[in-house]
Amino acid sequence: MAAGCCGVKKQKLSSSPPSGSGGGGGASSSSHCSGESQCRAGELGLGGAGTRLNGLGGLTGGGSGSGCTLSPPQGCGGGVGTLLSTPAAATSSSPSSSSAASSSSPGSRKMVVSAEMCCFCFDVLYCHLYGYQQPRTPRFTNEPYPLFVTWKIGRDKRLRGCIGTFSAMNLHSGLREYTLTSALKDSRFPPMTRDELPRLFCSVSLLTNFEDVCDYLDWEVGVHGIRIEFINEKGSKRTATYLPEVAKEQGWDHIQTIDSLLRKGGYKAPITNEFRKTIKLTRYRSEKMTLSYAEYLAHRQHHHFQNGIGHPLPPYNHYS
């Protein structure tokens, strides 16, 4: 069961159905965006083998796919840190400008996500694009987590690909798989090329602390990611999700976020408060690490072969 969530453009939100809305609806197994970073309606099924969710605003079309389940993955574990904080334990060994963030409750345990995970994702993509043998097993933990790999590009960090899964996967195989899936198979974008590598940013998000709540407002902007399930006007079950950072980055409140998810999930009828109360909502937290390509190079210069890398490091002037 795969899932997705990625940054979206600022958009006007309304409780009325959008005119000429083409996004969402149906039971398609892939999600698209209108424009480079604005995710369209939820066209992804949380059930069904091989189904993926695209984008940080990526959504799921629940539909009636076989194996569809909305129960949170078991054994997800917790994280540490405060609201989008950068705990020293998570960044002390990371490049100086890399970014670590946690939306997990403080005091539970050390953060799991690390800069080495982002480096491993860059290793996998680099080896694929240049035809090298894939890197060997990394040294970081192989515990199972729901995860997302997000690629952004350029100084303005435009979305370039984002696909993940709500099913807990062992990190070694999960990051390897979703590195290439998000870079090469996000249907909203063409496959990545070698020329884009120096401008890339890689983010790894590990999802934790899934909780079903009774009130659709029982979550905190900037702290929780949310996944909603609802019945659309045709009587079909649909789902949609946003990672914890999306609502805060867009400047949305609870109602705006919920309404955006409903539209992305393909709900076209007017949105009333009574309908919002019928939503089934699961909240979750995440640990996130972001690394630029330049930071990846610097990190690898100091730790070459430490992670079983058998390919030459890309020279700094390779893309100049």
One domain, residues 232 and 298: no
* H or E element in which residue 261 lies: helix 254-264
Q: Is the pLDDT assigned to residue 263 strictly greater than 90?
A: yes
pLDDT band, residue 241 (cuts 50/70/90): confident
Chain segment 78-93, per-residue pLDDT in tens: 222 222 222 222 333 3
Same domain, 302 and 156: yes
In a domain, 72, yes or no: no
Who wins on pLDDT, 113 or 25? 113
pLDDT exceeds cutoff 80 at 105: no
Same domain, 166 and 118: yes
Assess whether 253 and 201 both reside in one domain: no
Q: What is the DSSP string of 81-145?
A: -STTB--HHHHTTS-TT-EEEE-SPTTS------HHHHHHHHHHHHHHHHTPPPP---SS---EE
Would residue 68 count as lying in a domain?
no
| 89 in a structural domain | no
**pLDDT for 96 beyond 50:** no
Token code pair at residue 14? 């309304």
Residues 121 and 180 placed together within one structural domain of the fold: yes
The answer to pTM > 0.75 is no
How far apart CA 84 and CA 88 sit, in angstroms, is 13
Q: Do 112 and 175 touch, CB atoms closer than 8 A?
A: no
As for how many domains the chain has, the answer is 2
Rounded Cα–Cα distance for residues 7 and 38 (Å): 7
* Mean pLDDT for the chain overall: 73
Q: How many CB atoms lie within 10 A of CB 272?
A: 10
**DSSP secondary structure code for residue 307 in this structure:** T
Residues 133, 189, single domain; the answer is yes
181 located within any domain: yes
Contact 31, 43 (CB under 8 A): yes
148-163: buried (b, 16+ CB within 10 Å) or exposed (e) per residue?
Answer: bbbbbbeeebebbbbb
Note whether 187 and 266 are same-domain residues: no
Q: At 302, is the pLDDT very low, low, confident or very high (cuts 50, 70, 90)?
A: confident
Establish if 190 belongs to a structural domain: yes
Question: What CATH number does residue 202 fall under?
Answer: 3.30.700.20
Residues 172 and 303 reside in one and the same domain: yes
pLDDT class of 223 with cuts at 50, 70, 90: very high
Residue at 116 is within a domain: yes
What is the pLDDT at residue 1?
Answer: 52
What's the token pair of residue 101?
């963030």
Q: Are residues 130 and 184 in the same domain?
A: yes
Domain for residue 3, yes or no? no
Q: Is residue 119 part of a domain?
A: yes
- Let me know whether 199 and 296 are in one domain: yes
204 with 291, same domain?
yes
Three-state SS at 256:
helix
Q: What is the pLDDT of residues 6-63, one digit of tens each?
A: 444 444 444 444 443 333 333 333 333 333 333 322 323 233 333 345 434 443 333 3
Question: Are 117 and 170 in the same domain?
Answer: yes
Contacts of 295 (CB under 8 A, 6+ apart): 95, 97, 98, 115
pLDDT of 99 over the 90 cut = no
Residue 207 pLDDT > 70: yes
Closest-CA residue to 286 (of 186, 118, 145, 178):
145
Closest CA to 89 of 289, 291, 308, 301: 289
User: For residue 267, what are the domain limits?
Assistant: 217-278
pLDDT of residue 73: 31
Q: Are 276 and 319 in contact (CB under 8 A)?
A: no
Distance CA 311, CA 314 (A): 9
Q: How far is CA 5 from the centre of its chain?
A: 4
